[in-house]
Structure 1
Amino acid sequence: YLTRVEGSSEGLTKEEISLLHNSGTKILPIYNDFRRAVGANQGRVVAMTAAYHAKRLGIQKGTPIFMNVEQFFEVDSAWIRGLVNYLYNSDYKPGFYFDSTEGNFTTAYCEAVQLDKKISNQAVLWSAEPDLGVTNVEDAPDYNPATPECDANVWAWQYGHDSEVCPIDTNLVDSRLLQMLY
């Protein structure tokens, strides 16, 4: 996470990023300091703030920043278009973590794609469904995330949530996204 959000995330430091990189670990930046995703102006503000924090932490140009769009958020296509258009003209790529089966992200996303094809070309999606449960590496499923019913680059899939053993989720990432991570 790029920033500290009370009760949700602590936010990375430059020192933690250095430690991760020294161990060969790539970073998938997530921005989650918003509770609503409505209106083009709000989309631009969220994108601008996320890009600022990525730059502050030294995240390299061209890296996608994933907006954590929770299933209970109100989301509209104007917000998605505002966010994507701002990041399209910045140093970073737009990304969205979303639930494809609950909430209205997929409807808003497909409306945004219908209005502006650049959305589906530029944005990278990270699906939270289906939830098959946490596994070890050997038992990971084949890559098969739930996707919107429109053009979309769904290049990450969180297939397991909230392990009982430790507080982790399990994800699979397409090689195209892996190459873009910091």
Structure 2
Amino acid sequence: MYIQQSNTVISEVINVSFLWGVDSALSVNQEILNCVTISYGKPLYWGRYLSRVEGAAEGLTRNEILFLHKNGIRVMPIYSNFRSAVGLRSGNITAQNAVAHARRLNIPEGKILFANIERFFQVDSAWIEGWFSTIRTSGYRCGYYHDPLIGEFNREFCEAVKNNEKIAIESILWSAEPETGATKQQNAPRFGPKTVNCQSNTWGWQYGRDATACPIDTNIINDKLYNFLY
């Protein structure tokens, strides 16, 4: 049984809290926050991109972070300025760029940085290892936004885990499946993301994309992931 309490869905069975929030390609201002709060609910966290990607996402700023924090909303940092995830060196360099942007924004070490791996990307286990090792040594927490059903991530992540079990133990996955449709916070589904076919910490679920009333996607995460947000 799940009980709704403000922005938190609490499982009485396993005593884990599941928290509702959103992500967006657009910068967050009062107008967008009002739209989300009125149409869907008050998010506890907001996924935003560490740097601008032409035609795809606006980059996070320090002022935007301050605005979110003043409204009691944590930041879920995402790095998306890449179009494939192939090769160890590429994984290292992409992670270095993500870390540089996180430090520019004064995001403290110990917080999570998600690599945005779309379902149509080329992916290999070497890139996953490269991202993991560089993020880990930088002092940040390693995360992967991914689709476990469509594309190459499932297979290649599990191959990376075979080579280095620390990837399964220390990294955090944010699943894009199943896509059940954006909802109001009070109507959010029970936490049930699809997972990869090997050991993992799948602690986040983007269950609804492209909400109609506001330019956001809707998510549920567990409280363990929430602790690593900024």
- Smaller-chain TM-score range? over 0.9
Note the alpha carbon deviations across 1:15-73, whole angstroms, 9 max, x for none: 11111111111000000000010111100000111001000000011111001001110
Task: Determine if contact 2:141/2:228 at 8 Å carries over to the other structure.
Answer: no
Deviations 1:61-117 (A, max 9, x none): 111100100111000000001110111111211111101111101111000001100
1:54 match: 102
Q: Please, which of 83, 92, 116 is the counterpart of residue 44 of structure 1?
A: 92
Instruction: Please report the TM-score for the alignment, with normalisation by the length of structure 2.
Output: 0.78
Match of 2:73 in 1: 25
Equivalent residue number for residue 148 of structure 1: 196
Q: Helix, strand or coil for the counterpart of 1:73?
A: coil
What amino acid sits opposite 1:5 in the alignment? V
Report how far residue 176 of structure 1 moved: 0.1
More strand by share: 2
Correspondent of 2:159 among 102, 111, 128 = 111
Query: What residue identity is the alignment partner of 1:162?
Result: D
8 Å contact 2:145–2:173 — kept in the other structure? yes
Structure 2 unpaired stretches of 5+: 1-48
Which residue identity is paired with 2:153?
F
Q: 2:179: which partner in 1?
A: 131
Shift of 1:164: 1.7
CA distance in 2, matches of 1:29, 1:84: 15
Aligned AA (1:147): T
Matched, 1:64 2:112: yes
Q: Greater relative contact order: 1 or 2 (C-alpha under 8 angstroms, separation 6 or more)?
A: 2
How much has 1:122 moved relative to structure 2? 1.5
In the alignment of these two chains, the number of paired residues is 182
Q: For residue 116 of structure 1, what is the amino acid of its counterpart?
A: N
After TM superposition, the runs of 4+ consecutive aligned structure 1 residues lying more than 2 A away are none
Hey, what's the Cα distance between the residues in 1 that align with 2:114 and 2:53?
15
What is the root-mean-square deviation in Å for CA atoms of aligned residues? 0.7
| Partners of 1:100 and 1:151 in 2: CA distance | 13
- Greater radius of gyration (CA): 2
Tell me how far apart the structure 2 counterparts of residues 17 and 134 of structure 1 sit (CA, whole Å): 24
Quick one: distance in 2 between partners of 1:80 and 1:115? Answer: 11
Please state whether the residue corresponding to 1:107 is helix, strand or coil.
helix
How far is the alpha carbon of 1:148 from its aligned partner?
Answer: 0.3
Q: Residue 220 of structure 2 aligns to which amino acid in structure 1? A: L
Unaligned ranges ≥5, structure 1? none
